[in-house]
Amino acid sequence: MAGIVKPPPDERRILIVGLGLIGGSLAAALRAAGFGADKEGAAGFRGTILACDPDADEIVRGIEMGLIDNGDTRLEALVEGASLVVLAVPVLAMESVMVQLAGVIDRAAPDVVVTDVGSTKAAIREAAVAAFGRMPTNLVLGHPIAGSEKSGVAAADAGLYARHKVILTPEPDTDPAAMARVRALWEASGAEVLEMDVARHDQVLARTSHLPHLLAFSLVDTLARQDERLEIFRYAAGGFRDFTRIAGSDPVMWRDIFVANRDAVLAALDDFEAGVARLRRAVERGDGDAMLATFDRASHARHYFESLLNQTSYQAEYQMQQHGKLRYRVSPGGGVTGRIRVPGDKSISHRSIMLGALADGVTEVKGFLEGEDSLATLQAFREMGVAIEGPHQGRVTVHGVGMHGLKPPAGPLYVGNAGTAMRLFAGLLAGQAFDTELTGDASLTKRPMGRVADPLRAMGAEIDTAEGGRPPLHIHGGKALKGITYNMPMASAQVKSCLLLAGLYAEGETRVREPAPTRDHTERMLQGFGYTVHREGDTCWLQGGGRLSAAPIDVPSDISSATFFLVAAAITPGSDLVLEHVGINPTRIGVINILQLMGADLRLENEHEVGGEPVADLHIRHAPLTGIDIPVEQVPLAIDEFPALFIAAANAEGVTRLRGAEELRVKESDRLQAMANGLATLGVEHVLLEDGIDIVGRPEEEGGEGARYAGGNIDSLGDHRIAMAFAIAALRAGGEIVIDDCANVATSFPGFIDLARRVGLTLEEQQEAS
């Protein structure tokens, strides 16, 4: 886990060439991890740290600080027996140092490994080839992404690399054992080690590090040469100081970097200058929409990507490696009472942004779900040139660009954990004139996308997938699409919606027949945006070539999110709960029908329609539940709600049988298996089948009190619905339920913990140990 110092590397003698800030901080970090002698030279510590530096005073200072055991200004005097050599010299000095090292490397240990810390890798690779005649297999090029405006060994900081990244750029024939030893070196300093090829590293760093430094140097230099420079600097605000802080960095070092990485820096500068030119034109014309698009896109990109990289709500698999997994600890018992409103419907939130972006005019959205999945959709459209204001307390304003107004994104579109977004985007992007790549987190890359890619190919789209038809998806634009008639092999609103969105761009008619009813949010919203969609029986169709007109959207509360609280109230004695403004689309009310069939005291109140979608307040009180055979026709209407319904079944008297639900095996996890594993942990009797499950509930004790099953430790497998289902199960558990791997709850239900506590659950969240 990044930031947690691992044991010291298993090296006999580490030689650091260049005892400045970077080399000195590495020595300090190794000392802190227990490598080598301490400041008093106490015995019992393994390993020796030596340093070579042209400044003899730096060597003396490093010894006095206890960072190194010995040092010299001559490389040949130190290389004897070295097992690991770290080259921490300026980029332009690297070749001469490598030439010296090549002449004496035979004096080092037979298994010596060499690495470096330079911030440009192509130039250093060229230097290595020039010095050694080839790229040695025991040379591992690396770059710690850390630094300071200070310099010299006196500025050494043992924590400089903690929670920072170190990028290694191995060659195809780099020795894996050498890689492992360099990785161990940096992990001992608390860094997170990543791998990247040389060219990609130089491109990325040119944009994220080199270009900002270049701009800071230029801005400060420009202002410092103006007549009123004293006034400018006297009244500079914090933002100016923050941005220009890096202009205080070592000028010689940065000159070397810009020389060494010239081509990548110039390419980054070209892109930046083009962006500034666009913004200048907008300012000259007084084009407020263009300025807003740029500012809003930048503002939200900054917040969005910062949250992705630093918070557990993003890309859970990545974050789990960084900061540890998130755990829920839920005490047994509790009550469920009150009035709450759960967040907006995720499916409708996705579609409101997609159709609003493609519409002519401005679409105002209320009730937008500010969860990670929906925010990923927002960000994707910003990256395709759509000006979007918000979200602010569920309000989003989308400045539509029309059916053909999207622009090519600069890179892959990342949709996080959102299978809905990826499948709908596939259809929408198949009709664009430009190429796109759709990617997501580790969970999403395991989910099948052939179910949308295959029919899109039949329409004329060109789509590449990873092995097994899984993400990422590479969509080649500019293809002429033709409408098809498609009989879906499985009931899937995502597949249906994907094909309808592609059909907007197709010649002729696109018809989709579904084997069972699925949610119809796409059809309803298309109608709301003025696009005619026909339906007859099990088939819906539309004609390509039309246009969308902006329309207001009021997103109902998500019935999938409401389900956890419906079940919580249904199973808990004394409960009385109202869930406000919940969407009750006929294609989504399977959970309501199933709970009522089981005997739940569930009533719909204040029914009305908002933006073409029916909504109601759901009022539920506790009542004894009875096991049922879940009607097959209800399965597709409740496919996302079954994890919570399994908890209802565990609290019902008798057997609840589910069949025809094999779709549950290809969600964020294999939900049938994950729920069966959790039920087994709690001691709930069940029989798992390929397409369903039988769950045996115990008779409720007289008076309705008491536990229905045990507590235990549950692995949610990173699936938000599994995590939330077992959280509410604690209401009738005999002991505490601890649920691991809960970071992804924020993808669909931000605020779940607060609402759970408000209605009566005792739930704590904590970081799991690595």
Q: What is the DSSP string of 392-409?
A: ETTEEEEE---TT-----
Q: 346-358 and 372-383 are packed helices; what angle lies between their axes, rounded to 10 degrees?
A: 10
Is residue 702 over pLDDT 60?
no
Is residue 44 over pLDDT 70?
no
pLDDT at site 304: 61
599 is in an annotated binding site: no
494 is in an annotated binding site: yes
pTM: 0.60
- Give me the active site residues, please: 640
Is residue 535 over pLDDT 70?
yes
Is residue 67 over pLDDT 80?
yes
406-451 confidence digits (pLDDT tens): 999 988 898 887 888 999 999 999 999 999 999 988 778 888 899 9
Is residue 314 over pLDDT 50?
no
Spell out the alpha helix ranges (H) of 443-538. Answer: 450-458, 493-503, 521-528
| Residue keyed to tokens 């760093």 | 205
671 is in an annotated binding site: yes
pLDDT at site 323: 36
Instruction: Calculate what percentage of the chain has a pLDDT beyond 70.
Output: 91
347-358 confidence digits (pLDDT tens): 899 999 999 999
716 is in an annotated binding site: no
pLDDT at site 315: 33
Contacts of 103 (CB under 8 A, 6+ apart): 76
As a whole number of angstroms, the distance between CA 441 and CA 461 comes to: 24
Contacts of 363 (CB under 8 A, 6+ apart): 352, 355, 356, 397, 398, 400, 550, 551, 552, 553
Structure tokens at 184: 């161990």
Give the torsion through C-alpha atoms of 245, 251, 253, 257, to 10 deg.
Answer: 90
713-726 confidence digits (pLDDT tens): 999 998 999 999 99
Q: Which of 115-119, 620-624, 700-704 has the lowest mean pLDDT?
A: 700-704
Distances, alpha carbon 726 to alpha carbons 31, 373, 664, 736, in Å: 45, 22, 17, 11
User: Are the C-beta atoms of residues 84 and 112 closer than 8 Å to each other?
Assistant: yes
470 is in an annotated binding site: no
| Residue keyed to tokens 């569920």 | 394
Distances, alpha carbon 379 to alpha carbons 300, 442, 606, in Å: 8, 19, 35
38 is in an annotated binding site: no
223-235 confidence digits (pLDDT tens): 777 766 666 666 6
419 is in an annotated binding site: yes
Neighbours of 96 (CB within 10 A): 12
Q: How would residue 303 be classed by pLDDT, with cut points 50, 70 and 90?
A: low
User: Are the C-beta atoms of residues 121 and 161 closer than 8 Å to each other?
Assistant: no
**What average pLDDT does the segment 196-224 reach?**
85
Q: How would residue 49 be classed by pLDDT, with cut points 50, 70 and 90?
A: very high
pLDDT at site 739: 96
Task: Walk me through the domains of the chain, giving residue ranges and CATH numbers.
Answer: 13-196 (3.40.50.720), 204-286 (1.10.3660.10), 326-340+558-767 (3.65.10.10), 346-554 (3.65.10.10)
251-291 confidence digits (pLDDT tens): 877 888 888 888 888 988 998 898 899 899 989 999 887 88
